[in-house]
Amino acid sequence: MTVSHTNAMTRRLGRIALAAILTAMLASCSFSLPGTGEPPRIFVLSPKSTFDENIPVVDWQLLIDSPIAAAGLNTSRIALRQSQIELEYYANAAWTDAAPKMIQRLVIESFENSGKIVSVGRQAVGLRADFILATELREFQAEYEGKADNEPPDIRIRFNAKLVKMPQRTIVASKTYDYLLPAPGTDLVSVVLGYDAALGKVLKRLVGWAIVEGEKFHDS
């Protein structure tokens, strides 16, 4: 047997041995490839559809800007907090979109559902309006701090809104909504229902406030 033939056989045996070792390692440990495993559960929140009857019907136009949010909330992941110094997220769960984009859509739909305003839309280049609603999402998480294991979390939503008159770009009104409501249960669906209830309170009051304040300053 020649030396070159011997070397070739040695290399082939080495490759076979390496493949056998890797196969054994993969079989003996838990190993998941990217894109495998349990898919995330996708949750959606609902716009508001019932409003106070005394909200005036107005004939001016309103554009809704996407809420400003810190990086920790500018995500589709569903946030939770177990302490004041750390923001975490539920595993295998997400909103349909990044939270600010999702809330922007819900705000627009809520204004449309009110039937009180002639035109409302998304802030975009080239569109004209009488007012712009600029908002900031400051808190949007489930809070477990101080809770027992069998207690549901509180849902915290803090949302600031500024009504900006165009074309002057003057802030004519500002309002902060801050709600802390207990979720109806400890499971994930109940937590999301808690988010829906808390955000619903914000949306209902936001629509009424913006329309009333805008009407005050429309002709001024």
In tens digits, what is the pLDDT along the chain, a chain of 220 residues?
Answer: 554 555 555 555 455 555 555 454 444 444 444 445 677 899 999 999 999 999 999 999 999 999 999 999 999 999 999 999 999 999 999 999 999 999 999 999 999 999 999 899 988 766 789 999 999 999 999 999 999 989 999 999 999 999 999 999 999 999 999 999 999 999 999 999 999 999 999 999 999 999 999 999 998 7
Residue 123, pLDDT score: 81
The structure tokens 């739909």 sit at 109
CA distances 78 to 93, 112, 140, 195, Å, are 7, 26, 9, 10
Residue 39, pLDDT score: 79
Question: Both tokens of residue 218?
Answer: 């429309």
Residue 38, pLDDT score: 75
Question: Both tokens of residue 77?
Answer: 């992941």
Residue 124, pLDDT score: 74
Residue 8, pLDDT score: 54
Q: Identify whether the C-beta of residue 41 lies closer than 8 Å to the C-beta of residue 112.
A: no
Residue 28, pLDDT score: 46
Distance, CA of 207 to CA of 157 (rounded, Å): 16
Count other C-beta atoms under 10 Å from residue 155's C-beta. Answer: 25
Residue 133, pLDDT score: 98
Distance, CA of 44 to CA of 97 (rounded, Å): 9
Residue 37, pLDDT score: 60
Residue 139, pLDDT score: 98
DSSP reduced 3-state for 165: strand
Q: Identify whether the C-beta of residue 158 lies closer than 8 Å to the C-beta of residue 138.
A: yes
The structure tokens 């035109």 sit at 119
Residue 209, pLDDT score: 98
Distance, CA of 216 to CA of 219 (rounded, Å): 8
Handedness of CA 93, 99, 105, 107 (dihedral sign): positive
CA distances 189 to 49, 144, 192, 195, 196, Å, are 21, 16, 5, 10, 11
Residue 11, pLDDT score: 58
Distance, CA of 81 to CA of 214 (rounded, Å): 36
Handedness of CA 181, 187, 192, 196 (dihedral sign): negative
**Side-chain half-sphere CA neighbours of 152 within 13 A:** 19
Question: Both tokens of residue 132?
Answer: 């712009």
- Cα 100 to chain centroid, rounded: 6
DSSP state string for 7-31: HHHHHHHHHHHHHHHHHHHHHHS--
